[in-house]
A and B are shown apart, each in its own frame.
Chain A
Amino acid sequence: DAGITQSPRYKITETGRQVTLMCHQTWSHSYMFWYRQDLGHGLRLIYYSAAADITDKGEVPDGYVVSRSKTENFPLTLESATRSQTSVYFCASSFLGERAQPQHFGDGTRLSIL
């Protein structure tokens, strides 16, 4: 099916471990985004990418690494997970980045770090 898919949907890991969250979209959208959603903070932008091999920081990038070797994939890596990174992570994409373009979100990855 066309759309944006995230995997895994649920993940439990331990402090200090490396974990990678996957995001795949089939629309050939140029822009892709990673957000995290926490109670009391709403959604906050972690990283975004305007095209393959172009990435940039959002509001809360510390502790995260991204890459984008192909247009359709935008993985998010927590190199050494901490409890404060327990959250729901959403990937999104849009055709362009300008303000009239809607973003389309995946169903999220629920990450728990023990």
Chain B
Amino acid sequence: DAKTTQPNSMESNEEEPVHLPCNHSTISGTDYIHWYRQLPSQGPEYVIHGLTSNVNNRMASLAIAEDRKSSTLILHRATLRDAAVYYCILRDVSSSNTGKLIFGQGTTLQVKP
């Protein structure tokens, strides 16, 4: 499975934008890029996913590099409720039938008031 690399931790101020990077230099052409987050004492929560084009939803935006070797999750205005561990995950053909999500260590985001 292709792996992802994320910074261990990041800090942000409340109401400012946050850019969470993810490197996936060995991504294959059929890998989807998924982002999940996990708030304290809760299960992982789906945030967004994409294949090649940038994506927006009510929670965040996903910017995918042209060569697809990196991506950035953008929270447009961080709130205290956005403090969580953010996981960047590649879903490939081999994981499709098992549904296996391979969670790395993720990025722990701290949001300061």
Contacts and interface: CB of A to CB of B under 8 A. Distances in A.
Interface residues of B, number: 26
A70 B105 CA distance: 34
Given A42-B105, A99-B32, A106 B43 contact: yes
B43 A56 contact: no
A92 B43 contact: yes
A100 interface: yes
Interface in A37-69: 42-43, 45, 48, 50, 56, 58-59
Contacts of A7: none
B64 to A, nearest CB: 14
A58 B96 CA distance: 12
A48 B51 CA distance: 25
A33 B101 CA distance: 10
A36 to B, nearest CB: 11
Interface string B96-109: 11111111110000
With most chain A CB atoms within 10 A of its CB, the pick from B34, B43, B46, B102 is B43
A99 B90 CA distance: 9
Interface in B69-113: 91-93, 95-105
